[in-house]
Every structure is written in C-alpha cells, then in structure tokens.
Amino acid sequence: MKKKHGSLFTGIGGFDLAAQWMGWENIFQCEKNEWCRRVLAKNFPNTKRYIDIKDFNANEYKGSIDIISGGFPCQPFSKAGKQRGKGDDRYLFPQMLRVIGEAEPKCVVGENVYGIAKTALSEIKSSLEDLGYITIPFDIPASAGGALHRRSRIWIVGFKKDSFNTNSNGIGSHREEVYQQGNVELQYQQIGEFGSVVSESIREGIDTRIFRAVDGLSDRVDRIKGVGNAIVPQIAFEIFKCINLLKI
C-alpha cells in the first residue's frame, strides 16, 4: 500500500519530489508563495493545495496521513538574519505542531538551518515528544547528497509510538515491543550514518559555490529564491527510504 504524504511550507516541492521518488502519494501541500504554488500546480497537479498554514485545518486528515514533512521558515534562526528565534513573528513551528496534532501522522520530518540547534531545537523536540513521537534530530549537510557545497541542515525525524504493529505475530509481549523499538532505533542509526559517513567521505575538495541557472527570464529572482529556500530532495529521499522499511 502506498504511503500517504502531506507537506507544509512546501516551497517548490523538495519533500514532495522525494515522496514521488518513493512511489508515495502526495495528498496535500501548504504554501503561501504564489510563484511556488504555480510550480507545485505544474509538477503535482493531483495534489490538494492550501495557502496559509494559519488557516489550514488538518482535522479532515486525522489518521489518514502516514508522513507529514515541512521545512518551516528558517529566517528566525539563520545567520543571515538577526536570529531572534522564537521571538520572531516568522517562527511558525507552533503552527506545524498544531497541524501534526490534528492529523496525527505516523511519522514527521522537519528541516531547518543549523542555527536552530542553539535556539529552539530542544523545545521543538520536547513538543513533538509531548504528542507521542520518538524524536531525534540529525545534522545532515547538502554535501551528503552529492551537492558541491556543505550547507548544514538540521533534520528532525519523529515516529509516533503507537504506529508500530507490536502484535503482528499475535504476540503483544514486552519482548515484541522491545524488538519493534529496536527497528526504530535501527532506522535512526541508518539516517545518522548517511549524514555523517557519506558527507565525511566527500568533504575533501568541496566546492563552496552554489550553482544556479541565470537565463535572463524575468522570473529568475523567484527561481533563485525558490531554490535557495528549498530542501535537498536527495537527503529527504534517504530519510524516507529508512521510514519505508518500518511496518507502519
């Protein structure tokens, strides 16, 4: 059965592209930027789209979504800004948390800049755990996916504790629960190894330039902004592959 995926702060659809590579079904997207929504409409014509996360009520998806992803706005944590963190009105993780609480997906994947580690990561992790998610953050740079620049990012992966079939063989014992928990830990280990081992092996000679096409079209500013804000789908794909191995 295809897993069902929904994305928040979708941008140009990096998470959705990775989900498509997995053969998953993209159920909904939520993106405020008009240009990005045009890109999404072109590339994901069968996916339902919402504009403002503050107006998005996800109760209709309760229990029907397997994975919710979101690269929530990074401006409150980026070194390029004032790093006001939770005091910035663009800090929208609470809205993402609300949607997660309404839809109750089995897995959650978030992404943000490295600066979040010093400002809000601990609270984000705790808030997801309060909703019943086993949650671990990873530092996985773009270089781990083959990019020619490092671009460190924090990836937050959460598995809902009650999403695992601990009675698949008719055994509801503590031993079976420990076995299933071990599977979850294995997936975390694989995600972590992907981020550290792969990126470390190609770190020598990394080109710090970021290549973006400039072709003279009038919308190139939107395009550059869209690419700059986008997640690296190759990284999301590796994380999704680990999630896919779980029997949820």
Query: Which is higher by pLDDT, 161 or 142?
Result: 161
Question: What's the rounded Cα separation, in Å, for the pair 107 and 122?
Answer: 19
Q: What is the per-residue pLDDT for 60?
A: 97
User: Which of 36, 74, 107, 242 is an active site residue?
Assistant: 74
Query: Quick check: 118 pLDDT over 80?
Result: no
For position 207, which CATH number holds? 3.40.50.150
Q: Based on the structure, what is the number of domains in the chain?
A: 1
Confidence of residue 240 (pLDDT cuts 50, 70, 90): very high
Are 124 and 110 in contact, with CB atoms under 8 Å apart?
yes
| pLDDT at 216 (0 to 100) | 47
Nearest 5°: the CA angle 86, 54, 122 is 30
The pLDDT of residue 150 is 67
Write down the mean pLDDT value for the chain: 75
Residues spanned by the domain of 181: 4-244
pLDDT band at 176 (very low <50, low <70, confident <90, very high): very low
Window from 3-7, 44-48, 85-89, 230-234 with minimum mean pLDDT: 85-89
pTM of the full structure: 0.75
Q: Is the pLDDT score of 104 beyond 50?
A: yes
Q: Tell which wins on pLDDT, 248 or 56.
A: 56
CB contact at 8 A, 7 and 15: yes
Q: Does the active-site annotation cover 107?
A: no
Residue 110: alpha-carbon gap to chain centroid = 4
**pLDDT value at position 170?**
32
What is the spatial distance between Cα 20 and Cα 237, in angstroms, rounded to a whole number?
Answer: 9
